[in-house]
Structure 1
Amino acid sequence: MPSLFRIGGYLVFFWSNENGEPIHVHVAKGKPSPNATKIWLTRSGQCIVANNTGRIPQSDLNELMDIISAQFFLICRKWKEHFCVEEIQFFC
């Protein structure tokens, strides 16, 4: 499970077994958790919240999504490296 970066007290990461899902990240307070919030990346470089099971407050979530969008190319590169794929599937 690769950790990508920290934003404040939040960890942005991938789970290692994503079963061919489109590119996304998980965000959890402190350390990885099965109840982490899931955020899809879109082809245009934006983010869509798949679920907020981590119950991240909306103001924090908005800031996190802005930063995740700004790190789009880094996340895509890390996704390709970790999952050994040439092309990335996007949610939309």
Structure 2
Amino acid sequence: MPTVLQVGPYSFIFFSSDRGEPAHIHVKHDRQIAKFWLDPIALAKNRGFKDHELNEIARLVEEHKSILLEAWHDYFGT
């Protein structure tokens, strides 16, 4: 599970088993994890983050969208 980006307490990661899905990123902090689709950006799943944290994470995903998409395509070869 490669870490693509680290911003503050948040790790932005992929799982190698994600290959068959549309581009997305998992955001992890301690035992909390959320999944965001990247195009368009939308919350797919949340496990443990509060609403205000999700808003901040969504802002970070938007801010770093091009880096995250490039990393997705580089990693999965799509």
Q: Settle same-fold status: TM greater than 0.5.
A: yes
Preserved CA contact (<8 Å) 2:9 2:29: yes
Aligned positions, number: 78
Provide the C-alpha distance between the structure 1 equivalents of 2:53 and 2:74, rounded to a whole number of angstroms. 28
Letter in 1 for 2:74: E
Q: Tell me the equivalent position of 1:88.
A: none
> Residue 38 of structure 2: which of 10, 19, 41 is its match?
41
Aligned with 2:17: secondary structure? coil
Question: In the TM superposition, what whole-angstrom CA distance separates every residue of 1:42-70 from its partner, at most 9, and x where no partner exists?
Answer: 24xxx2111112x1111111011111111
CA-based RMSD: 1.6
Preserved CA contact (<8 Å) 1:7 1:64: no
Q: Tell me the equivalent position of 1:14.
A: 14
Aligned ranges for residues 58-73 of structure 1 at < 5 Å? 58-73=51-66
Q: Whose strand fraction is larger, Structure 1's or Structure 2's?
A: 2
Q: Which has the larger radius of gyration?
A: 1
After the TM superposition, which segments of 4 or more aligned residues of structure 1 sit over 2 Å from their partners? none
Deviation at 1:28, TM superposition (A): 1.2
Q: Whose helix fraction is larger, Structure 1's or Structure 2's?
A: 2
Q: Percent identity?
A: 28
Deviation at 1:7, TM superposition (A): 2.4
Aligned with 1:62: secondary structure? helix
